[in-house]
Structure 1
């Protein structure tokens, strides 16, 4: 089994995800090969909370140009984690 730090890469903080926090939903960038069960166990272990459900989606990287050079950003996988009522993640506290 992998360590939770290998599964949860970083929290994703945008205007849209900040609005989701009112519904007790938190968004993370996760390892591309992680499944919902691993994500649930990693969040519960890292933040000491109870997870109700996990939704995942894959984000394809956008095409970018620098002058005549073309490239693309990396693909990434996001997870929207819904916590059970009464639980909060402390690193997101000042953002709501």
Structure 2
């Protein structure tokens, strides 16, 4: 297991129509470090965003897509996505406000 700090776990938020609709249920979607586990993601969200309390974390590993340059076939890098469910008493995450 790699030594991952909490500020290295969350890479960026995922802003799609589906993830924006899930925000009504206090579910937020992030791209995370590929070696991060659910407890590390939970700790990172609670430390980075004040007033948040995580109820559950769902993760999914996404394989890279096939890409071609001329005759060479390769793949893009693998990614990991996390959907974080906050508790009812938890504060909302500010970076998603106004979107």
Gaps of 5+ in 2: none
Which residue of structure 1 lines up, in the alignment, with residue 36 of structure 2?
Answer: 34
Unaligned runs of 5+ in 1: none
**Segments ≥4 residues shifted beyond 4 Å:** none
Shift of 1:69: 2.8
Give the SS at the match of 2:7.
helix
1:94 partner SS: coil
TM-score when scaled to structure 2? 0.87
Deviation at 1:3, TM superposition (A): 2.3
Conserved 8 A contact 2:4-2:36: no
The alpha-carbon deviation at position 16 of structure 1 amounts to 1.3
Q: Give runs of aligned pairs for residues 1-96 of structure 1, distance below 5 A.
A: 2-48=4-50, 49-86=52-89, 87-95=91-99
Query: Cα distance 1:2–1:67, how it changes in 2: closer, same or farther (>3 A)?
Result: closer
**Partner secondary structure for residue 97 of structure 2:** helix
Query: How many residues align structurally?
Result: 95
Change (3 A) 1:19 1:65: same
Between 51-60 and 2-11, report the one with greater CA deviation.
2-11
Shift of 1:77: 0.7
Q: Secondary structure at the match of 1:61?
A: coil
Compute the RMSD of aligned alpha carbons: 1.4
